[in-house]
Chains A and B, each alone.
Chain A
Amino acid sequence: KEMEEHQSVNFMRLLSDESGCSILSEDSCVYHHTEIYEELPSSQAARHRKQGGWQTCEAEPGRLPRGAKDKTSTQPLRNLLLCLQGKREARNRRNLEIRSVGFWESWRRSQSINRKRVWAGVRGALSSLLPWQHVLHSIEGRFGVGVKSYFVFLRYLVYMNLLHCVVISSFILGPTAFYGREPLTFEDDDSFLDFFLGSGFLERSPVFFGYYTRGSLNLTCLNTPLLYLNGVLAILILSLIMVVRRTAVSYKHMRLLGKRYSVNVSFKIFCGWDFTIQDHAAASLKRSFIRNDLKLYLEEQSFSLRKAQRTLAQRVRLYTLRIILNLLVVSLLGGAFYLIYFATITSQSEGQKVSLILQYLPPIAITSVNLVLPHVFRKVSSFEDYSFTTQVNVTLLRSIFLKLASLGMYLFFLFRADPFFTLNWEKNNQFGREMYKLCIFDFLASFCNTFLLNYPRKWLYPSSLLTRLLGKQRFLIPDNVLDLVYHQTVSWVGVYYCPLLPLLGTVKLVVMFYIKKFTVLRCCVAEQRMFRASSSSVLFHFMLLLGLFMAVATFGFNLYQFALSSSCGPFANGASVFNVTGVCVDSLPGPAQSAVRYLASEAFALPLILAEIVILTSYVSRGRANQRAIERLKDMLVMCSSDKRFLVKQHTTMLRNKKRTQKARTTDAGEDSSACQ
């Protein structure tokens, strides 16, 4: 019905455009059109609320609708939509004496404006205090939201690691430093290589688990082991809360943005320009930002159109292709896992000899597999005819599976490889050392990748055949995000055995930010196609969540496995995680003790689960009800506008008829008056 109406309207406009004689009636139509809008109850109510006027600078007082006139006589002159001369006339019409603005009022007004400005300035200064705001802005302008979302993610990880550092230093480092342990000593056989291998003096340093023995701080409920455990748990729980919250926020954002009927494009067009921009560079940045944004939007839309127009045969062919490609991906993953397994076995079997290459064999295998396969996955996904955003996300999902699974495999083999090793006191430190090595190696790899691969490649681009074959470099978001997620997972997994990993991670991430910034701004060209950041940032955080779960699982497994057999670190001399907490609980007064025991029992789990189910159900149903209400409101909006349209049409035809009869009458009577309303 609406389409019909639309067409008829177009038809009307076409007619009036073509025939010169009906221009007058068209004009009056526009005029009455606005008038009837004025008189609608809804717009009058809106006007009451807003206390605004509708007349334009050119409008003469006689043409004003009555309702508007009443309104304008009460509102302050400066709110009128008139030029200064018009305002003067309006004042004369209102017969107001020329009111001079007193000193007090002038001062008050300028104070209120100044206050507003100061607040805006403070807010601006605060937001510019956020690190790298400016860098992010220029990256966004040149490379679009997608690349920016990577950097925002990186910054978020830096924040998180900083928070971890605070937790670590207050729970673990602080007490240990305060309640003493002998200072770090260097021995003759310490070498620089130890820094990379995590052996030698590092092994005796606070970097690793073994350093934190039960010191002089030895109360039943406040001792080093307990603090250590609490610190690590606090980190994991804090991370869980932060990541879940962030995922939920970006998910909500995505849902809101992803809805149709939204006024997205109109916003982008009508409110797109920032009139406060004075700088030429900022203006061109803003322009390219708007252009990127629009192109992204249009591309997504035309893709969904193309998708809707696929024939059955095309669809069948596409799905077969996708299945075959997925099989290929699975077999590649299998091969990669076997390679990692092989590397781990080899390095474990030569466990006694300290050969640098052999020591680093598993990290090398993992890193090289992860360096090569994502590129293959990217090529594969380009055949699958997804939209660009989906393509990025699919590659991301496959690669994250590879990355986390390879890390998981590595951990698993580390536990499995040497059952006799478990009793060795070095075992715990060795685990921490492996994580430390992974972290260092990962950093070295990305450093070399940038300065030995990407940067020379940029300089070789036009001259060398190979680089021309490879094409211009683009910033590959999936690979880079993967690196970050992987790094964070390693840091979570290793934090129990290597409490300084968060500190190391913070430094590493900050350096990474600058390296990546260098890569983007110096070595890469902007992607031709843009991709949507909102859905991807959900995916980024979701992957982070997967990494966190993996870390928690490893942590639980570690606790379980090493509970009885630890011979160094805070839980030495038969003190295990369980009996340390047990001793603490036993020292509590009776009611608190039974409360803790109840909380830990299965009897508590059931009501907890039930309560969660009830809460979740209520939220889900509320969400559904809201959604239904939104749909209904949208329908109402459409109905309202079509009602209005109908009424306006009726009104104009009525007026036209009336005018025609009046004109006929006046010509009949021979009078000289023009047509009035």
Chain B
Amino acid sequence: MGTTASQLGKDLLSEYQELTFLTKQEILLAHKRFTELLSKEDKALPNPRIPMQSILTLPELKSNPFRKRICHVFSTSDMKDGSLTFEDFLDLLSAFSDSATLEIKSHYAFRIFDFDDDGTLDVGDLEKLVNCLTGETDDTRLTPDEMRQLINNILEESDIDKDGTVNLSEFQHVISRSPDFVSSFKIVL
């Protein structure tokens, strides 16, 4: 642990503590896990990125149907390939940590569910979301009729301004009434 601490640097560590919801131990653990995923040649680079494929091998993400979306949302890569730097990784863990606020969690949940990144959940996004939840194979998927009916129901309930999509504030409106969202929207290393 001593070596990792020295690798991370004391100033950096305390800066991360200030800017994220993570504790010192969690940041150190995250750093350890992150360096384990790095390949040999990447370790020499100043600000290495882990490709999405190796992020997805983390057991915390492996069985999550939204794992690719999570990577894409937290990635700051210009290539839009879902690769994460250490700081992106900390952002991810901070948003999914115990002490992140409902505001932050619901914001990121919205962006994860917004598959086409257009700022609203439209019919296509909802369809993909439901498929992720029920399972993607043909026999687990809902029939097209059921899907249409379901999406109409969702929009009828949550689309307050009736514009055919669910926007962030409407989404947060729904989420804020769920008591267990904060406890289920959580990934801890």
| A contact residues vs B (CB 8 Å cutoff) | 2, 5-6, 9-10, 13, 30, 33-34, 37, 43, 50, 52-53, 56, 77-79, 81, 83-85, 87-88, 91, 98-101, 106, 109-110, 112-113, 116-117, 120, 261-267, 269-280, 282-284, 287-288, 290-291, 294-295, 297-298, 301-302, 637, 641-642, 644-645, 648
Contact = CB atoms under 8 A, between A and B. Distances in A.
Contact of A113 (B74, B99, B103): B99
B142 A641 contact: no
B66 A273 contact: yes
Contacts of A110: 23-25
Given A87-B19, A270-B175, A277-B63, A290 B133 contact: yes
Contacts of A79: 101, 103-104
* 10 nearest A-B residue pairs (beta carbon): A52-B103, A110-B23, A283-B63, A641-B160, A84-B87, A6-B162, A291-B134, A101-B14, A266-B158, A271-B178
Interface string B75-97: 01000000000011011001010
B23 A302 contact: no
Which residue, of A83, A91, A274, A301, has the highest number of chain B Cβ atoms within 10 A? A83
A264 B174 CA distance: 10
A597 B113 CA distance: 70
B154 A13 contact: no
Question: Interface residues of A: mostly helix, strand, loop or mixed?
Answer: helix
B24 A106 contact: yes
A258 to B, nearest CB: 15
Nearest to A261: B157
Nearest to A52: B103
A269 B129 contact: yes
B156 to A, nearest CB: 9
B11 interface: yes
B177 interface: yes
B119 interface: yes
A116 B186 CA distance: 14
Which residue, of A117, A270, A302, has the highest number of chain B Cβ atoms within 10 A? A270
B99 A273 contact: no
A112 B23 CA distance: 10
Which residue, of B19, B103, B184, has the highest number of chain A Cβ atoms within 10 A? B19
A85 B88 CA distance: 9
B109 interface: yes
B101 A52 contact: yes
Given A275-B185, A276-B184, A291-B140, A83 B18 contact: no
A275 B19 contact: no
A571 to B, nearest CB: 54
5 contacts: A78-B21, A265-B157, A266-B154, A267-B178, A269-B133
B116 interface: no
Given A265-B150, A265-B153, A117 B134 contact: no
B29 to A, nearest CB: 12
Contacts of B144: none
A270 B169 contact: no
Nearest to B64: A275
Given A99-B18, A271-B181, 6 more contacts: A84-B16, A266-B157, A271-B180, A275-B66, A275-B186, A291-B134
Given A267-B174, A278-B60, A644-B161, A298 B150 contact: yes
A561 B81 CA distance: 85
B35 interface: no
Contacts of B64: 273, 275, 277, 283
B142 A295 contact: yes
Contacts of B74: 83
B130 A269 contact: yes
A645 B99 CA distance: 35
B126 interface: yes
Nearest to B130: A269
A81 B109 contact: no
Nearest to A111: B23
A645 B11 CA distance: 49
Given A37-B169, A106-B23, A273-B66, A81 B104 contact: yes
B149 A298 contact: yes
Contacts of A280: 62-63
B140 A278 contact: no
A208 to B, nearest CB: 50
B8 to A, nearest CB: 14
Nearest to B175: A270
Interface of B: 11, 14-21, 23-25, 59-60, 62-66, 74, 76, 87-88, 90-91, 94, 96, 98-99, 101, 103-104, 107, 109, 113, 119-120, 126, 129-130, 132-135, 140, 142, 146, 149-150, 153-154, 157-158, 160-164, 167-169, 171, 174-175, 177-178, 180-181, 183-188
Nearest to B60: A278
Contacts of A6: 162, 164
Contacts of B113: 270
Contacts of A294: 130, 134, 142, 146, 150
Contacts of B132: 273
Nearest to B76: A83
A113 B23 CA distance: 8
B142 to A, nearest CB: 7
B134 A290 contact: yes
Contacts of B59: 278
Contacts of B184: 271, 273-276
Contacts of A274: 184
B112 to A, nearest CB: 10
Contacts of B60: 278
Contacts of B103: 50, 52-53, 79, 81
A83 B187 contact: no
Contacts of A272: 133
A295 B146 contact: yes
Contacts of A270: 109, 113, 158, 171, 174-175, 178, 181
B93 to A, nearest CB: 11
A43 B103 CA distance: 14
Contacts of A100: 11, 14-15
B149 A301 contact: yes
Nearest to B108: A81
A648 B160 CA distance: 13
Contact of B163 (A9, A264, A283): A9
Contacts of B161: 641, 644-645, 648
Contacts of B146: 294-295, 298
Contacts of A56: 107
Contacts of B90: 84
B91 A269 contact: no
Contacts of A50: 101, 103
Contacts of A648: 161
A77 B174 contact: no
Contacts of A99: 18
B3 to A, nearest CB: 20
Contact of B164 (A10, A53, A77): A10
A31 to B, nearest CB: 9
A386 B179 CA distance: 34
Contacts of B126: 269
Contacts of A116: 98-99
A239 to B, nearest CB: 32
A164 to B, nearest CB: 34
A5 to B, nearest CB: 6
B23 A275 contact: no
A154 B157 CA distance: 36
Contacts of B175: 270-271
